[in-house]
Chain A
Amino acid sequence: MTTIEVLIHDLVEKHGKNRNALMPVLQGVVACEKFLSEEAMIAVARELDLSAADVYGTASFYTFLDTKPRGKNIIRVCKTISCHMQGKDAIIKAIESHLMVKVGETSPDKKFTLLSANCLGWCHKGPVMLINDEVFPSVTPEKAIEIIENFAKKTI
């Protein structure tokens, strides 16, 4: 078994083999791998006796279950109206030029993927940025870069 197959096998051991287990298993894979590869989706389908198309359909529905390769850290900047009015464009611009990527892309060192996100529920403290599971409210362009640099240092 490949590493990913072992991971999925263990997740299925933990969450069970019925269809209800699909979401936690997919989330478990994304937590480790940042995205769902073709191989991963096939392995999940096989373990849960589902069709691969079914697994792909479910994964594609959820923004946080990515099916494209992603960097080690995923930056999501809220693009919804409150954050927009509080200056999310400047944040995105600063990150784009710092990491030399556009929204949707991954940095050449594979440390970061920059994405935009729909409302993260922090409208009172926009603009807000999410890195992996961590929320950073009221960011400025300078603060955003500083936070990202700290993550870069921690990421091998």
Chain B
Amino acid sequence: MSKYMVNLKINNTPIQVEEGTTILEAAKLLNFRIPTLCNHPDLSVAGNCRVCVVEVKGARLLAASCATPVSEGMEVNTNSEKVRIARKHVIELLLSEHNVDCTKCFKNGHCELQELASEYRFGDHIFIDLVKDRDKVRDISSPSISRDASKCIRCQRCVRTCDELQSVSALAVVNKGDHQYITTFLNKPLNDVVCTNCGQCINRCPTGALYERNYIEDVWQAIYDPNKFVVVETAPATRVALGEDLGIETGVRVTGKMVSALRKIGFNKVLDTDFTADLTIMEEGTELLTRLKKALVDKDETVKLPLMTSCSPGWVKYQEHMYPELIDNLSSCKSPQQMFGALAKTYYADKINIKAENMVVVSIMPCTAKKFECNRPEMRDSGFKDVDYVLTTRELAMMIKQAGIEFDKLEDESYDSILGESTGAGVIFGTTGGVMEAALRTAYEIITGNEVPFTNLNIKPVRGMEGVKEASIKIKNTKPEWNFLEGVELNVAVAHGLANAKQLMDAVKSGKSNYHFIEVMGCPGGCIGGGGQPIPTSAEIRKRRAEAIYAEDMGKTIRKSHENPEVIEVYKEYLSQPLGHKSHELLHTHYKVRKRY
């Protein structure tokens, strides 16, 4: 059905747009930038901050351009005197309720309100300061996410994120009028409520009201301590986004520069979580095949299928809170981050002759939930805290700046060995569908001896940004030991963002689905859209980061986890076999039923 086209003028420039387009969107097409705060491309329209007001000829009141659709013959002025005065007052009123301690704020330099204030250069404030209890409203209970209500401008982006994208609603608006504020159930500490620590709210908060619990100073202390051997691991998705915080265009891979910068910062060894991503595939792939065998051959009815991935700690905690009845469907595999920590302080420490107690493992993650994960009591199988500190991609960018490193001028360097080698399969863990694709590349080959039947190993049906993706692969020409899978149609599903995961889980719970294996990533787009990634985020930005991930995969000589030479070596020298005794001890974990309420 063709849409009606609407003619209007913005700042005297005529434009024709589809019916239903907002003034804000139409102005953007003409390159007129209208400032916004409560508006976000990933979220529904709220229209509550009023920063985007414009003058519409003939209308008595100014219109919020984000919430006003165009109409035929409309004449809009985005910068009339009336608009300018109103907009300045709106920003100043927001500032009067905002704790303006910018120099002390963790979001300093990354705050949309600060940017607007700097555009308009207010000078003296004309409104009285209305910030209440400025020192009493910080919630630092969570190891992942901190909140400072004195910075909140009540735009409700976080509330909409937690509800619309994540189906969690840990945050809500309470009270009304000037008593209104954003909080948890009965103002409980964030760590005590249903929050999954995904950090998507941080990515969308326009101010410093939500920010990651940061461990930058702790990491510097460890680096400066001559008695500590500091090992750093980097997640797949950091390398395709770090550049954004350091003046490099979105979607440009900075793997080599990142490794170089980490060395210059002073880490003793620069290693790769992608290595343990490959290892995860070996363990999780074997777990899948074992469960399938139990179900199909031994007719064991207690075996839990579909198997669900467990790499994303936001997703894992979501499952613990929301679907405790499906908790045993989660793979017992630790996430690659935690497998890395457990191996670093055992196998690796022995190999390089460093005492585990002197080793500090730092991981660079696109994720805030990883900070919670490394603090879980289960994550101490090496006898120590397996991963000591988790930094977000953003925190690493800050460290690089603090160290005075000119990032764009760095030469590419390679990861140290061992625990630094990875395959294309490990890399694609960083985007939605990647774990599934990596697992299928390996599992199919284990079962049949042949490569997966997709051109260039690219399993396209599980790629892309659709909320829930499904694929079926018919297993043909199995090896004799796997002949029970001959002709079996392996059904898989992939979801990213917890609202999509909810859909999938409801289907599984109702018993109507026939999946064998499900991948879920807590964040929209998977790790490339993680809560620890550079701000801002949008569908376009996530798409470009994902393309960079697949480009990195294509550029790798080895693209299947089971062919990673270091993975082969670690099994030969130490672990013996997937799901073996040592693996169970170090690489697997269990989950905890948590209250939803």
Chain A residues within 8 Å of B, Cβ to Cβ = 38, 41-42, 45-46, 50-57, 60-61, 67
- Which of B168, B169, B175, B183 contacts A61 (CB under 8 A)? B175
Q: Is the CB of A54 within 8 A of B186?
A: no
Q: Distance in Å from the Cβ of A100 to the closest Cβ of chain B?
A: 28
Report chain B residues within 8 Å CB of A52: 185-186, 193-194, 596-597
- Which of A38, A46, A56, A67 contacts B172 (CB under 8 A)? A56
Report chain B residues within 8 Å CB of A51: 163, 168-170, 172, 185, 194
Q: Distance in Å from the Cβ of A95 to the closest Cβ of chain B?
A: 25
Bound-complex Cα distance A46 to B186 (A)? 16
Q: Is the CB of A53 within 8 A of B184?
A: yes
Q: Distance in Å from the Cβ of A11 to the closest Cβ of chain B?
A: 18
Q: Is the CB of A53 within 8 A of B176?
A: no
Bound-complex Cα distance A50 to B173 (A)? 14
Q: Distance in Å from the Cβ of B160 to the closest Cβ of chain A?
A: 12
Report chain B residues within 8 Å CB of A55: 185
Q: Is the CB of B185 within 8 A of A53?
A: yes
| Listed A/B pairs (19) with beta-carbon separation below 8 Å | A41-B185, A41-B186, A42-B597, A50-B169, A51-B163, A51-B169, A51-B185, A51-B194, A52-B193, A52-B597, A53-B169, A53-B171, A53-B172, A53-B185, A56-B185, A57-B172, A57-B174, A61-B175, A67-B186
Report chain A residues within 8 Å CB of B168: 51
Is chain B's interface secondary structure helix, strand, loop, or mixed overall?
Answer: loop
- Which of A38, A53, A60 contacts B175 (CB under 8 A)? A60
Q: Is the CB of B169 within 8 A of A46?
A: no
Count class of interface residues, chain B: 10 to 19
Chain B residues within 8 Å of A, Cβ to Cβ = 163, 168-176, 183-186, 193-194, 596-597
List the 9 closest A-B pairs by CB distance, nearest first: A57-B172, A51-B169, A53-B172, A52-B185, A60-B174, A42-B597, A53-B185, A52-B597, A60-B175
Report chain B residues within 8 Å CB of A41: 185-186
Report chain A residues within 8 Å CB of B186: 38, 41, 52, 56, 67
Report chain A residues within 8 Å CB of B163: 51, 54
Q: Is the CB of B174 within 8 A of A56?
A: yes
Q: Is the CB of A54 within 8 A of B174?
A: no
Say yes or no: A54-B169 contact (C-beta < 8 A), given A42-B597, A45-B597, A46-B597. yes
Q: Distance in Å from the Cβ of B474 to the closest Cβ of chain A?
A: 37
Bound-complex Cα distance A63 to B281 (A)? 55
Bound-complex Cα distance A82 to B171 (A)? 38
Report chain B residues within 8 Å CB of A50: 169
Bound-complex Cα distance A67 to B172 (A)? 15
Bound-complex Cα distance A42 to B193 (A)? 12
